[in-house]
Amino acid sequence: MRTKRLGDVTIRAVDGGALPTHLVAQIDAIFFEASRRSAFASANERAAFRERWLGRYLAGGSDVVLVAHDLEGAVAGYLVGALDDPAEQERFADIGYFRGAFRELCRRYPAHLHINLAPAFRSRGIGARLIAAFSARAVAVGTLGFHVVTAKDARNVRFYTRCGLSALGTTSWSGREVVFLGRALPGGESSLSRR
């Protein structure tokens, strides 16, 4: 018999373009709570913020969308990510560090992700499971490595380090110090040296 654990969740890979609106609404709520940004000058600015860090990954296509559901089916958290180098994609041109300070690192660790959990589901190992699922998807398509960019002083840096990512570079962006954390994937080093 399956043992019920506190915070028991199921992780599903979904087509972001086919997500029902009630699940999108729950993902949005988690995103805005986790981003801790509630003040926006206008509805347009709020929409642009959501688009930059979440919306564009839910448009379907090759992006990865992983949703963690609790036993009742409610969204406990999510991971969204892209598998190809963001410095080479026009849709990420609004995030200056991809083509700027982190351009070379993006080439070596091309896939990237954003992850957020609802407060009640944090610190139970669910985030690590989402990262492992994303890593498996990236390995399956032969990506050299993956990365995240976060605030240099954020508590989540410890989480990423425990997930096997290493701090590889820092820069100042949008008024704060950010850090690039990357993890090479099996075969990554050798495939890079063959290029």
158 binds ligand COA (CB under 6 A): yes
Q: What is the rounded distance in angstroms from the CA atom of residue 177 to the CA atom of residue 151? A: 6
> Does 27 interact with ligand COA (rule: CB under 6 A)?
no
115 forms part of the interface with ligand COA (CB under 6 A): yes
Backbone φ and ψ of 3, nearest 5°: -85, 130
| Dist CA 107 CA 51 (whole Å) | 24
Residue number, 80 or 90, with CB nearest to ligand COA? 80
Helix (H, G, I), strand (E, B), or coil: what is residue 67? strand
- Residue 194 touching ligand COA (CB under 6 A): no
Q: Which CB sits closer to ligand COA, 7 or 46?
A: 7
* Secondary structure tally for the chain: helices H, strands E: 7, 7
Q: Give me the least distance between CB of 99 and ligand COA, in Å please.
A: 20
Token couple for 143: 């990506």
Distance of alpha carbon 19 from alpha carbon 1, whole angstroms:
31
| Residue choice 17, 125, 186, 187 for contact with ligand COA (CB under 6 A) | 125
Residue closest to 69 by CA, chosen among 140, 5, 12, 137:
12
Which residue in 9, 126, 138, 165 binds ligand COA (CB under 6 A)? 126
Nearer to ligand COA, 148 or 185 (CB): 148
Q: Does 123 bind ligand COA (CB under 6 A)?
A: yes
31 interacts with ligand COA by CB under 6 A: no
DSSP state for residue 93 in the 8-state scheme:
T
* Sites of contact with ligand COA (CB under 6 A): 34, 115-117, 122-128, 148, 150, 155-156, 158-159
